């Protein structure tokens, strides 16, 4: 981010955490038009995308930490012999309602090693991916490009690139409209 001015860095961080363009412009003491002009610059837009992704990963990590703390509290309630039956029931239901979304790790080391070997075989069987441009290789390894595949993104959904525009007005500009015949 050393190639950006302090005002641009301020705008990138503000937009990454969900501020509006107007709020980010006011925070950096620039006009909204300037922010929109910066967003058309590919390097600025890419830095904004990375910052937004980094913020999302930070939030995800914090939520995982809070979920672990909440689970420890629920476990303490379940183990407390002085807890009322209604509190124990509510704690149990809270855990069971969330358990349907959880996946359990493999039952044994042998299962894990079989899965790892199978994954290695699949990777070895796949052809090497094409070389990426130098700009894509310079990205930090924990950050990846966002998927802007028009097949999986509804046209009226927010664009996955993080611009804040609808997909049909941003990366999906050339994507054909998808008509469905699902019953409402």
**In this predicted structure, what is the pLDDT of residue 9?**
92
3 state SS for 83-126: CCHHHHHHHHHHHHHHHCCCCCCCCCHHHHHHHHHHHHHHHHHC
DSSP β-bridge partners for residue 166: 158
Average pLDDT for 36-56: 90
pLDDT at 29: 92
pLDDT higher at 147 or 65: 65
Sign of the torsion angle spanned by Cα atoms 162, 164, 165, 167: positive
Is the per-residue pLDDT at 178 higher than 60?
no
Q: Quick one: pLDDT band at residue 144, thresholds 50, 70, 90? A: very low
- Please tell me what DSSP assigns to residue 20: -
Six-digit token string for 124: 């070895």
Q: What is the pLDDT of residues 86-104, one digit of tens each?
A: 888 887 777 777 766 665 5
Q: What is the mean pLDDT of the chain?
A: 75
> pLDDT-derived band of residue 81, with 50, 70 and 90 as boundaries?
confident
Q: Give pLDDT, residue 184.
A: 45
Mean pLDDT of 146-163: 69
pTM score of the predicted model: 0.44
Burial of 50 (0-12, 13-18, 19+ CB in 10 A): buried
Among 11, 2, 5, smallest CA distance to 164 is for 11
Do 106 and 115 touch, CB atoms closer than 8 A?
A: yes
Reply yes or no on whether the pLDDT at 115 is more than 90: no
Please tell me the distance from the alpha carbon of residue 5 to that of residue 16, in angstroms, as a whole number: 16
Residue 145 has pLDDT above 60, yes or no: no
């Amino acid at each position: 981010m050393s190639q950006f001015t302090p005002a641009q860095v301020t705008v990138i961080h503000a937009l990454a955490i969900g501020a509006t363009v107007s709020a980010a412009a006011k925070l950096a003491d620039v006009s909204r038009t300037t922010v929109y002009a910066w967003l058309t610059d590919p390097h600025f837009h890419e830095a904004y995308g990375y910052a937004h992704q980094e913020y999302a990963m930070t939030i995800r990590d914090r939520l995982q930490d809070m979920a672990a703390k909440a689970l420890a509290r629920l476990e303490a309630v379940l183990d407390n012999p002085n807890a009322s039956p209604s509190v124990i029931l509510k704690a149990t239901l809270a855990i069971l309602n969330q358990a349907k979304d959880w996946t359990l790790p493999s039952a044994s080391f042998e299962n894990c090693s079989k899965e790892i070997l199978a994954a290695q075989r699949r990777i070895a069987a796949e052809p090497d991916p094409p070389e990426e441009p130098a700009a894509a290789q310079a990205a930090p390894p924990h950050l990846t490009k966002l998927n802007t595949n028009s097949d999986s993104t509804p046209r009226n959904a927010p664009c996955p690139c993080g611009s804040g525009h609808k997909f049909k007005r941003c990366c999906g500009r050339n994507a054909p409209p998808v008509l469905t015949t699902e019953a409402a």
